[in-house]
Amino acid sequence: MKINVVESVLKANDAVAAENRRRLSAAGVLAVNVMSAPGSGKTLLLERTIPRLAPERCAVLVGDLQTTRDAERLGSATPLVTQINTGTGCHLTAPQVTAGLDSLALDGVRYLFIENVGNMVCPAGFDLGEHRRVVLVSVTEGDDKVAKYPTLFQVADAILLTKVDLLGVLDGYRRERVYEDISRINSRAPVFEVAARTGQGLDPWLAWLQAQRSA
Ligand code: MG
Ligand code: ZN
């Protein structure tokens, strides 16, 4: 009985997600679900990405349990930002994204970034209606996270290794170990090494986004 309840919740979520995806595709918007642990640099990456893509072409839905802090930060990059507070919820769901879409004027928007709640487990299990999923992992989290949280990396269409400007001060970080784990878990996703703070590595990431939109 318990399994049936869980299945029906996921089925209901998936039906709403499919409708979100139809709505976004019809509007010509590429929706990107951005997932990672808390503090991997999702918000800063978007703060640096949006001006390069053109602010009027980008909108953001940002999920957090509490506060509007990330929306306030992103508000300096684009006016099209909605904060979704999940209360105790540790991931975004498709109906929350529907409500977020209702709050945004998507005319002329070409990219919707959905910054998920910082969490390396359940966001991977909830389709939001996105077209692409990107997963961040910062070098400051250590070199073992890909192996420890494989389900998140399995669903990624692209993986961003963030804060690479700090590699020089991290003793014992084995970058090759991260790449080995990624190639074992997900050989399909490109890996981008970025440092949003310095701008290092942003060009290939932006080119990837533009290519996904054309596709
Ligand atoms: Mg954030
Ligand atoms: Zn959750």
Give per-residue pLDDT as tens, 184-210.
Answer: 999 999 999 999 999 999 999 999 999
How far is the centre of ligand 2, averaged over its atoms, from the C-alpha of 176 (Å)? 30
Grade residue 3 by pLDDT with cuts at 50, 70 and 90.
low
- Domain extents for the chain? 5-214
Q: Which bound ligand lies closest to the C-alpha atom of 96?
A: 2
pLDDT tens-place string over residues 46-93: 999 999 999 999 999 999 999 999 999 999 999 999 999 999 999 999
How far is the centre of ligand 2, averaged over its atoms, from the C-alpha of 51 (Å)? 30
The predicted structure's pLDDT at residue 161 = 98
How far is the centre of ligand 1, averaged over its atoms, from the C-alpha of 42 (Å)? 5
How far is the centre of ligand 1, averaged over its atoms, from the C-alpha of 33 (Å)? 13
pTM of the model: 0.95
How far is the centre of ligand 2, averaged over its atoms, from the C-alpha of 205 (Å)? 27
The CATH T-level fold of domain 5-214 is: Rossmann fold (3.40.50)
- As a whole number of angstroms, the distance between CA 104 and CA 100 comes to 7
